[in-house]
Homo-oligomer: A and B are copies of this chain.
Amino acid sequence: MAANSALRRKSPWAGREARTREREVKREAVLRTAVTLFNERGFHATSIDDVATALNITKPTIYHYFANKDEILFECVRRGIDSIQQAGLAAEKKGGSAMERLCAYMREYAIVVTTDFGICVTRTADHELSAAARKRFRASKREIDRAISRVVEEGMIDGSIATGDPRLMTFTLTGSLNWIAQWFDPKGALSPEDVADGCVATLVQGLAPRR
């Protein structure tokens, strides 16, 4: 009895299935617009009305897709966090020495941080989120730091990374990478890949000239 979904897709009377798909598309559009405005003006300085007008709709329509403003912000950072975690998994999958995996991770991390959702992650302060969201946000960030720390420690053992305090080293690395979100200009001369490569190169080689 299942109607042919290929046919149904083309029909203007697309049915319930297509409706929920439409809903997702619209929800996504709200998110995309919101994150852009949040990054431009900041979360507090962006009103739901601002987001609505940018989409040619009105405020209650937005509340039809999201429970409240906090949920919108949380969804934005969640997407960014997800991308970063994906980058970590991909790097691990590639294998190689700890240094190689770390470099792969950092490169992808840097690229994520040039995207809208990535920018939102590093620019959103904990206290801007609701209590519940904040808890999850913090936990995710800790998890990421932990994952990087672990690779750094492995590198100190397998000899591919210089010894030191792994925690402090991790913060030094993520600091450089997170900060990209503060200055990167998509209309600038450097592509995300250029920035990622340059940044990773400096972190790996250091400032001192090799001789």
Contacts and interface: CB of A to CB of B under 8 A. Distances in A.
A177 B175 CA distance: 7
Nearest to A156: B209
Q: How many copies are assembled?
A: 2
A67 B75 CA distance: 38
Interface residues of A, number: 48
B207 A195 contact: no
A179 B177 CA distance: 10
Nearest to A126: B42
Given A161-B207, A201-B164, A208-B99, A179 B169 contact: no
Contacts of A44: 44-45
A164 B206 CA distance: 11
16 contacts: A44-B44, A102-B207, A162-B205, A162-B206, A164-B198, A169-B202, A171-B199, A172-B203, A173-B176, A173-B207, A175-B176, A176-B176, A178-B179, A179-B179, A204-B207, A204-B208
